[in-house]
Amino acid sequence: MTVYRHAPQNPKGEGIHVEDFNFWYGDFHALTGVNLDIAPRKITAFIGPSGCGKSTFLRCMNRMNDLIEGTREEGLMSLDGNDIYAAGVDPVDLRRRVGMIFQQPNPFPKSIYENVAFGPRLQGVTSKGDLDDIVEESLKRANLWKEVSGQLGKNGLALSGGQQQRLCIARVLAVQPDVLLMDEPCSAIDPTSVQKVEDLMAELAPTVTIIIVTHSMQQAARVSDYMAFFLQERAGEPATLIEYGDTSEIFSRPRDPRTESYITGRFG
């Protein structure tokens, strides 16, 4: 089954383009016939019931699933016109351009400074002045600078959960990604921190393409420009994209009755 749904206007061919994409974990066909274009420098939310492949699809976008043995994909997925699964693409380089934030904050057991400087150092930045500037700018972009500027030597793990999540965001921003993948980034942090992460997403969106997996319809409504609804209709069958479009339109006029059932809380 191939489902093609409304794609945002994207005249320059930028952003992530997906065509008839399928994905398998061993024999299990997890995703089928996904077609969509992710708008550059906007916020797109992936929604759907548990197990409908949202995280799987997100992880395909920076080839994180390559790290799981026995996985396989078919179809096209490109970033700014370049096939990310083409031979010769270095997944490590791809993951610098397409950074990821997980549900559980996962700072390194190092200082705040070293967490943020880690990626730039790997990229060959050695000057202390340059690293200081990158650390400060990244922490500012992640809305954490004011809280930690006087204690950059403190262990990242000693921060609160919400601060740790923003530290992880600063660590990703330090290598200047084009895309930020966020897999339920707010489900393990307190409400005040949720607000800070959502504010920061809005601040970053003009420069970074953001894709967020969320179980919260309220969060999807608050933060996203576009929304994609995934569904696995029957156990054992692959999930697929059911509806995709402008968030406010999907909430006010869903085109598919299954989307309407989900957003009105009738299942999932």
Q: Which of residues 52 and 212 has its CB atom nearest to ligand ATP in the complex? A: 52
Q: Rounded to 10 degrees, what is the CA torsion of 50, 51, 54, 57?
A: 170
For residues 21 and 26, give the distance between their C-alpha atoms in angstroms, rounded to a whole number: 16
Least gap, CB of 91 to ligand ATP (angstroms): 17
- Considering only CA atoms, which of 186, 173, 209, 207 is closest in space to residue 43? 209
What are phi and psi for residue 115, nearest 5 degrees?
-60, -45
C-alpha to C-alpha distance for 243 and 45, rounded to whole angstroms: 12
Residue pair 109/48 in contact by the 8 Å Cβ criterion: no
Q: Is the separation of the CB atoms in 208 and 178 below 8 Å?
A: yes
What the block records as the tokens of 161 is: 């959960």
Query: Closest CB to ligand ATP among 145 and 268?
Result: 268
Q: Is residue 20 within 8 Å of residue 75, measured between CB atoms? A: yes
Under 8 Å between Cβ of 246 and 225: yes
CA 4 to chain centre: 21
Indicate the residue among 50 and 127 with the shorter CB distance to ligand ATP. 50
Q: Which is nearer to ligand ATP, 33 or 51 (CB)?
A: 51
Closest distance between ligand ATP and the C-beta of residue 221, in Å? 18
CA-based radius of gyration for the chain: 19
Q: Using the minimum distance from each CB to ligand ATP, give the nearer residue, 100 or 175.
A: 100
Residue 253: alpha-carbon gap to chain centroid: 26
CB of 186 to ligand ATP, least distance (A): 14
Could you tell me the smallest distance in angstroms from the CB atom of residue 18 to ligand ATP? 15
Q: Among residues 47 and 174, whose Cβ is nearest to ligand ATP?
A: 47
Cα–Cα distance between 198 and 36 in angstroms, integer? 24
Nearest-approach distance from CB 64 to ligand ATP, in angstroms: 10
Q: Which residues bind ligand ATP (CB under 6 A)?
A: 25, 28, 30, 48, 50-56, 68
Closer Cβ to ligand ATP, 52 or 101, answer by number: 52
